């Protein structure tokens, strides 16, 4: 049986989104894979890179908090992984506790840093004195408070409340109503061109000198290739050096994109292909 890894433990938003994603893909409906939880995103992606599992399902960006930096950094470090699919999943954050209690009594709030960031206004308004404690996942936060009878709470999905026998103190506490996370499925081979719209994800290392990013973007612009996303991250090699994660419309072997890649190569600009894959379906895309 083939294996898909996700950020666990059970009850995380990643697991919730993965179950929904699998129902949209005929290849997985006909042959359900084994779902393997991992404690961190780097462990998950490196396990896939080492072929311990067949796929990894990871969060890439959130409509409220932006990029998931650890995912982007780790994808840049792997050698054999390609994004095959993207899936946009609505995120409703809930405040969980082991028993009903007034919000004023809560002394600590546990969750993943992304979830805490998505609920910043709620926390400042209703829990200004509660200590915020970050965990590796929302599911770990729920599991942690489930076994300790203290005035502690966790931020996480409804499914975590069911799995860990917790009480829902309040639902939909995220700051933005249309809060969603873009997940990607990565594997060891490049996806084939789809019948619909594709996008290509690239990692570009720009020289730390005036005009370098302008020249890169100009290669796409003069061929009328749309850039749907560009994010920068520190290269972690030299202070002031950045890498850029770029999403462009089209499949990587389309002539215009090949022309850009060749032009960048001639200018000695380093480019890594992160994948070409179908765009999320219209009914999934909410931001």
Provide the pLDDT confidence category of residue 82 given band limits of 50, 70 and 90: very high
Domains 3-90+180-187 and 198-278 share a fold: no
Separation CA 36–CA 270 (nearest Å)? 34
Mean pLDDT score across all residues of the chain: 88
pLDDT in the model for residue 122 = 95
For residues 246-274, average pLDDT: 91
CB 13 within 8 A of CB 158: no
Longest dimension (CA), the chain: 64
- Give residue-wise pLDDT tens across range 38-69: 989 999 999 999 999 999 999 998 877 778 88
Q: Of all residues in the chain, what percent carry a pLDDT higher than 90?
A: 53
- Give residue-wise pLDDT tens across range 153-197: 999 998 888 889 999 999 999 988 778 889 999 999 999 888 878
Separation CA 104–CA 98 (nearest Å)? 15
For residues 254-280, average pLDDT: 91
For residues 70-92, average pLDDT: 90
Provide the pLDDT confidence category of residue 136 given band limits of 50, 70 and 90: confident
Q: What global pTM score does this model have?
A: 0.82
Half-sphere exposure of 233 (CA within 13 A, CB side): 19
pLDDT in the model for residue 240 = 65
78-91 per-residue burial string, b: 16 or more CB within 10 A, e: under 16: beebbbbbbbbbbb
Contacting residues for 195 by C-beta, under 8 A, at least 6 apart: none
CATH 3.40.190.10 fits 3-90+180-187, yes or no: yes
How far are the Cα atoms of 108, 117, 155, 163, 265 from residue 134, in angstroms, in the given order?
10, 10, 10, 20, 42
Separation CA 111–CA 246 (nearest Å)? 29
CB 132 within 8 A of CB 114: no
pLDDT in the model for residue 287 = 36
- Give residue-wise pLDDT tens across range 2-30: 999 999 888 888 998 999 899 888 888 77
The domains of the chain are located at 3-90+180-187, 94-170, 198-278
Q: Are strands 152-156 and 94-97 parallel, antiparallel or unpaired?
A: antiparallel
CATH dotted code for 198-278: 3.30.70.260
pLDDT in the model for residue 283 = 42
Task: Give, to the nearest 10 degrees, the angle between helix 255-266 and helix 212-221.
Answer: 160
Partnered with residue 187 across adjacent β-strands are 82
Domain 94-170: CATH class, spelled out: alpha beta
């Amino acid at each position: 049986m083939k294996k898909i890894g996700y950020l666990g433990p059970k009850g995380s938003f990643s697991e919730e989104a993965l179950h929904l994603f699998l129902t949209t893909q005929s290849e997985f409906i006909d042959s359900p894979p084994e779902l393997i939880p991992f404690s961190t995103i780097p462990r998950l992606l490196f396990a896939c890179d080492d072929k311990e599992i067949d796929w990894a399902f990871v969060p890439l960006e959130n409509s409220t908090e932006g990029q998931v930096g650890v995912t982007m950094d780790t994808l840049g470090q792997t050698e054999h992984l390609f994004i095959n699919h993207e899936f946009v999943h609505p995120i409703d954050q809930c405040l969980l506790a082991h028993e009903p209690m007034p919000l004023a009594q809560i002394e600590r709030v546990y969750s993943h840093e992304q979830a805490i960031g998505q609920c910043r206004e709620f926390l400042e308004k209703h829990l200004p004195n509660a200590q915020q404690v970050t965990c590796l996942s929302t599911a770990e936060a729920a599991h942690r408070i489930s076994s300790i009878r203290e005035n502690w709470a966790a931020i996480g999905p409804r499914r975590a409340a069911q799995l860990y026998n917790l009480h829902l103190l309040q639902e939909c506490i995220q700051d933005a109503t249309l809060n969603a996370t873009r997940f990607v499925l990565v594997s060891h081979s490049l996806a084939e061109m789809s019948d619909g719209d594709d996008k290509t994800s690239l990692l570009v290392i720009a020289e730390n000198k005036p005009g370098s990013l302008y020249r890169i973007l100009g290669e796409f612009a003069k061929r009328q290739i749309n850039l749907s996303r560009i994010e920068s991250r520190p290269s972690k090699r030299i202070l002031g050096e950045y890498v850029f994660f770029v999403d462009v419309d089209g499949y990587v072997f389309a002539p215009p994109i090949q022309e850009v890649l060749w032009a960048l190569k001639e200018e000695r600009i380093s480019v890594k292909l992160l994948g070409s894959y179908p765009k999320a379906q219209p009914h999934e895309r909410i931001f």
